[in-house]
């Protein structure tokens, strides 16, 4: 399994960014029959945290801090999972990671970084005030 993030960068508060995760290898094993792909972030001085996750079947999960501002979507034809981030705030600044695994349908499981075995390298998002 390989995951590659793109689309980060600097943006002013109130602006938008779209992150994209290009994935491969998730369809090659029955273990990933209904895999999830998520976006996580590490904010300065904090532990990595869940942002938004989408299941192959379409179910989505959002952290309370981003619900209503961020939208996660997938394009099966392109093997991408995008994170549209709107109304960005300085406190959204950090390194954003894409991760994937085969996890059950449970918010308290899919939003926990420690439950994922496959990770991208991360991409920086910087929101200035």
Pairing of strands 94-101, 123-128: antiparallel
- Residue 41 DSSP SS3: strand
> Tokens representing 76?
């099966």
Half-sphere exposure for 126 (CA within 13 Å, toward CB): 4
- 91 sits in the region (left: phi over 0; alpha: psi -120 to 50; else beta) called alpha
- Per-residue pLDDT tens listing for the chain (129 residues): 999 999 999 999 999 999 999 999 887 666 667 899 999 999 999 999 999 999 999 999 999 999 999 999 999 999 999 999 999 999 999 999 999 999 999 999 999 999 999 999 999 999 999
């Amino acid at each position: 399994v390989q995951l590659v993030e793109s689309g980060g960068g600097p943006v002013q508060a109130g602006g938008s960014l779209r992150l994209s995760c290009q994935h491969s290898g998730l369809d090659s094993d029955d273990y990933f029959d209904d895999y999830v792909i998520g976006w996580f972030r590490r904010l300065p001085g904090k532990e990595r945290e869940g942002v938004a996750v989408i299941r192959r079947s379409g179910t989505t999960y959002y952290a309370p801090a981003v619900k209503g501002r961020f939208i996660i979507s997938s394009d099966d034809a392109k093997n991408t999972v995008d994170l549209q981030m709107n109304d960005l705030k300085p406190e959204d600044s950090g390194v954003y990671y894409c991760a994937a695994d085969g996890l059950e349908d449970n918010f308290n499981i899919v939003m926990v970084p420690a439950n994922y075995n496959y990770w991208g390298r991360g991409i920086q998002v910087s929101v200035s005030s």
